[in-house]
Structure 1
């Protein structure tokens, strides 16, 4: 007996589906799904029918109709409905036309649309669409219209493995990359077998991995989202964190990661120690959730290479790391002057790198003149902004920039309001939340020594300060 492809069973677990001699793995998979439907194990109405990738004009680039019961012309109604809802201000991620529902997301210059005639599990649909974006991005580096046009064959292969008969199947890119490569899919004689990782207890990691030098790199990356009003009040602030790893370890190692988690410290009587209360924690499928729930230890057998171990959020008051004060004087029919003061409000031992302060200017401004105490200033007329770049911004420092623009004698009516100032930065060896890696243990039966490396980075997210 040969083996067909596998059934998705939640949290990435998979099981092999047996195929009869002469039966393709796709046929085996569909027959098994039909058998599950007949016994009520999988409800037929839970599936969705068709996945399509559209350009910004609504033209279909890729279409995969999994059930064959949705008219291919139905997607022609998607873009007109989307534009109509957008004009009305009632746009939602689920649109309807007749008996067909469109569930969609936008990524770069693409729309990813799933269609269904019956009620479908909406959370599953959107999780799948975002997973498609992730897988395609890992294959093609950048997911956009051009990369779609250059990789039609591989994309259809991926869509056939990602989903079958309207149900998600293998969505782990590391497994997919074992048998769908960018060099093309070579046809083999005889019945193909699924990759070993599919039938392993640990589907995300292959057996027999060997490295001459065993190393683990762990990055704690926090993005700060901030919105400050024109009078200096913080309207919104949050920290979005991610722990990313690059694993180069031989064999089947088990890793144990300890953080200064508030729940753990409270449970063990260390409530006075410096700790962080994490919210909206999301783990990679390799993490043993039962172990984390019991003693807050993050225990896992990692995938090989690069992956995101976990993400988290802290909806808390954040002191602005880089504070901007702006004075804008507009002299009617002649000129506009800017005085921008930037101040770093983090510890002196830290330094922000590659700081960019984006200051909006009128569309009709011209004849720019700049003066700054540090860095460089550039006018970007196509974006109607000036960019003040500071390569190195130490903590506790304050810098000043002045700009002068000429204005036309006929003043245009200001209909668009005043866009906010936005700031980009990166601060190494620093986290806003105070999260710390207490330990990273590497356990492997051969007992080899491995080198763990930990790095902290804080960067801007959606970081905006409104002007007067």
Structure 2
């Protein structure tokens, strides 16, 4: 699979590199960066005469995997994402060049443990934390006083053998430790859904699908075997699970049977198609003629009783505009140097329909645009699931009855409206 892994800054500088099958010259990163400079969005897979380059871009950094032979690219992308998720689990939500340099030993050791000869090996956070202690204030003080590293000096294989045989801190289920105890047993489920849709200029849905995930925060004692049921599991398509889920039970009964990891983890991803009712509508009326044009955009809610918040409408304007006299009755707006108007509405009020309207004046001698670029919308609705998915019941094999908390969040994904 991977021959080498490079972590780059947003300016193309190499922060860290790891090689499994011979050292690959750093010039391969220059080739990748040349592709990046040629276009704003670099392709996730780039083919060179000798190598295949697979990359993901996350805030502040690029993760670049180099392969010498063909391999399923989605597997490589998923592994790169898993590495980034482990970094977040260890070092916090913001991964920067300074953070990686400050925790260089931890970062390098994590990469070493997560891949064996370039193939995914140990990717469970609980398992990794048994071998590599996360950095913290106390551990840094201890290291500064004693001069000892938080990372074990034993080889990974020896470490795992000791853990399994002598300490018994990990059982046959590698994602969960044994001997976990909590004073209050509780488990929380977050149903997070994103709407990807395209709406034509007449308000009809051209395409729409919902991409969802089920996030879990588990604080249960012992080794609980859980059975989770949904109200309508048949509507879920393209489902992928955490390794703890018994897939045969889902195939046969549409029931999730699993022994959960301790702490926070993603239990499943899914997709729902056939959504015909959207919670937010955007009605743009944009027209141009000689010398300028008129803009009128209405935003509102429908088919939802919950509060719609964090609403931002992005309206691309012609590059030839010279001035505007736009006004809005809710929120505020700004036009940047790229002639893109961002209208920050915030919460949509119940007693008023947000509206942005006004005239646009273009530079003399410039013809009116042939067509308008799509308008994009961002929003968030708490305690609401656009698909209607909900948790019906939760059964636990342990003697105690855990407290179960369920909440849903619906957000916009790629929400485009043609003007």
Cα distance in 2 for partners of 1:328, 1:338 equals 5
C-alpha contact (below 8 Å) 2:244/2:258 kept by paired residues: yes
Q: Deviations along 1:246-300, whole A, 9 cap, x unmatched?
A: 11111111211101245xxxxxxxxxxxxx4210001111111122223222111
C-alpha contact (below 8 Å) 1:131/1:171 kept by paired residues: yes
Go from structure 1 to structure 2 and tell me whether the alpha carbon gap of 1:78 and 1:421 turns closer, same or farther (over 3 Å shift): closer
C-alpha contact (below 8 Å) 1:288/1:300 kept by paired residues: yes
Q: Does structure 1 residue 242 correspond to structure 2 residue 213? A: yes
Instruction: State the Cα distance separating 1:382 from its structure 2 match.
Output: 4.7
Instruction: State the Cα distance separating 1:310 from its structure 2 match.
Output: 0.9
Match for residue 381 of structure 1?
A: 336
C-alpha contact (below 8 Å) 1:257/1:299 kept by paired residues: yes
Match for residue 144 of structure 2?
A: none
Instruction: State the Cα distance separating 1:237 from its structure 2 match.
Output: 0.6
Match for residue 37 of structure 1?
A: none
TM-score, normalization by structure 2: 0.83
Paired residue secondary structure (1:130): helix
Cα distance in 2 for partners of 1:338, 1:123 equals 42
Match for residue 24 of structure 1?
A: none
Q: Which moved more, 1:167-176 or 1:141-150?
A: 141-150
Go from structure 1 to structure 2 and tell me whether the alpha carbon gap of 1:449 and 1:100 turns closer, same or farther (over 3 Å shift): closer
Match for residue 209 of structure 1?
A: 180
Cα distance in 2 for partners of 1:423, 1:90 equals 24
Q: Which moved more, 1:212-221 or 1:379-388?
A: 379-388
Cα distance in 2 for partners of 1:278, 1:193 equals 41
Pick the aligned partner of 2:379 from 404, 425, 442.
425
Go from structure 1 to structure 2 and tell me whether the alpha carbon gap of 1:216 and 1:389 turns closer, same or farther (over 3 Å shift): same
Cα distance in 1 for partners of 2:261, 2:370 equals 49
Cα distance in 2 for partners of 1:100, 1:110 equals 21
What are structure 1's unaligned runs of at least 5 residues? 1-46, 263-275
Q: Does structure 1 residue 255 correspond to structure 2 residue 226? A: yes
Cα distance in 2 for partners of 1:188, 1:80 equals 39
C-alpha contact (below 8 Å) 1:428/1:457 kept by paired residues: yes
Cα distance in 2 for partners of 1:126, 1:74 equals 18
Cα distance in 1 for partners of 2:358, 2:17 equals 52
TM-score, normalization by structure 1: 0.75
Q: Deviations along 1:92-132, whole A, 9 cap, x unmatched?
A: 613113x3332333333433222233444544333322222
Cα distance in 1 for partners of 2:64, 2:417 equals 35
